[in-house]
Chain A
Amino acid sequence: MTDKVIEQEKRAFLTGNEVVAWAALAAEADIMYGYPITPQNEIMHYWTRLAPRYNKTFLQTEDELSAGFTTVGGVLAGRKAFTATAGPGNTLMQEPISMAEMLRLPIVVVIQQRGGPSTATVIYSQQEVTMTTIGGNGEGMRVVYSTSSHQELFDYTIKAFNVAWKYRFPTFVLGDGYQAKMREPLTLYDPESRGIELIKPEPYVGKEGTPGLDRPPAQYRNTYSMEEELYEKLTDYMKDYNDMAPAVAEYQESNVEDAELVIIGHGIVFRAVKAAVDNLRERGIKVGYFRPVTLRPLPVPQIKELFSSKKKVLVVESAFGQLARLLKEAAYGSTAEMLTLFKPGVGITSEEVEAEVEKILA
Chain B
Amino acid sequence: MSVQPTMPKSWRVDTKPHKFCPGCGHGLVLKALGQAIDELDIQDRVVFGCDIGCSLLAWDFFNVDTVQTHHGRTNPVMTGIKRANPDLICIGYMGDGGGYAIGSQHLVNAATRNERITAILVNNAQYGMTGGQMAPTTLPGMKTETTPYGRDVDSTGYPCQGPEMVAAITREGAYVARASVARPVPLKNYIKRAIENQMSGNGFSFVECLSTCPTNWRTNNVETINFVEKEMTKYYNVGEIKVPDPKEPLGIKTSIKVPTGGIG
Which A residues lie at the B interface, using CB under 8 A?
30-31, 33, 57, 59, 61-63, 65-66, 69-74, 76-79, 81, 95-96, 99, 103, 203-207, 209-213, 217-223
- Which residues of chain B (55-102) have a CB below 8 Å from chain A? 56, 59-60, 62-70, 73, 76-85, 87-88
Q: Is the CB of A95 within 8 A of B43?
A: no
Q: Is the CB of B68 within 8 A of A221?
A: yes
* Smallest Cβ-Cβ distance to A57: which chain B residue: B83
Q: Is the CB of B65 within 8 A of A218?
A: yes
Q: A62 to chain B: which residues have CB within 8 Å?
A: 105-106, 108-109
Q: A207 to chain B: which residues have CB within 8 Å?
A: 65
Q: A72 to chain B: which residues have CB within 8 Å?
A: 69, 77, 80
Q: Is the CB of B64 within 8 A of A211?
A: yes
Q: Is the CB of A217 within 8 A of B62?
A: yes
Give Cα A304–Cα B121 distance, bound, in whole angstroms. 53
Q: A206 to chain B: which residues have CB within 8 Å?
A: 45, 47, 65, 81, 85, 87-88
CB distance from A201 to the nearest CB of B (A): 10
Q: Is the CB of A65 within 8 A of B77?
A: no
| Count class of interface residues, chain B | 35 or more
Q: Is the CB of B80 within 8 A of A71?
A: yes
The answer to whether B12 has its CB under 8 Å from any CB of chain A is: yes
* Smallest Cβ-Cβ distance to B56: which chain A residue: A223
5 new A-B contacts at CB < 8 Å, known A30-B84, A66-B106, A213-B43: A65-B106, A70-B76, A70-B79, A211-B63, A217-B63
Q: Is the CB of B80 within 8 A of A69?
A: yes
20 contacts between A and B (CB under 8 A): A57-B84, A65-B106, A66-B105, A66-B109, A69-B73, A69-B76, A69-B106, A73-B76, A73-B80, A78-B85, A103-B67, A206-B85, A210-B43, A211-B63, A217-B63, A219-B60, A219-B65, A219-B66, A220-B66, A222-B69
Main SS at interface, chain B: mixed
Q: Is the CB of B81 within 8 A of A212?
A: no
Q: B245 to chain A: which residues have CB within 8 Å?
A: none
Q: Is the CB of B106 within 8 A of A212?
A: no
* Smallest Cβ-Cβ distance to A30: which chain B residue: B84
Give Cα A190–Cα B10 distance, bound, in whole angstroms. 45
Give Cα A222–Cα B12 distance, bound, in whole angstroms. 19
Q: Is the CB of A77 within 8 A of B80?
A: yes
Q: Is the CB of A95 within 8 A of B70?
A: yes
CB distance from A24 to the nearest CB of B (A): 15
Give Cα A95–Cα B108 distance, bound, in whole angstroms. 20
The answer to whether B120 has its CB under 8 Å from any CB of chain A is: no
Q: A213 to chain B: which residues have CB within 8 Å?
A: 43, 63
Q: B79 to chain A: which residues have CB within 8 Å?
A: 59, 61, 66, 70, 73
The answer to whether B231 has its CB under 8 Å from any CB of chain A is: no
The answer to whether B44 has its CB under 8 Å from any CB of chain A is: yes
The answer to whether B52 has its CB under 8 Å from any CB of chain A is: yes
Give Cα A76–Cα B84 distance, bound, in whole angstroms. 9
Q: Is the CB of B77 within 8 A of A209?
A: no
Q: B10 to chain A: which residues have CB within 8 Å?
A: 212
Give Cα A30–Cα B66 distance, bound, in whole angstroms. 22
Q: A33 to chain B: which residues have CB within 8 Å?
A: 80, 83
Give Cα A63–Cα B43 distance, bound, in whole angstroms. 32
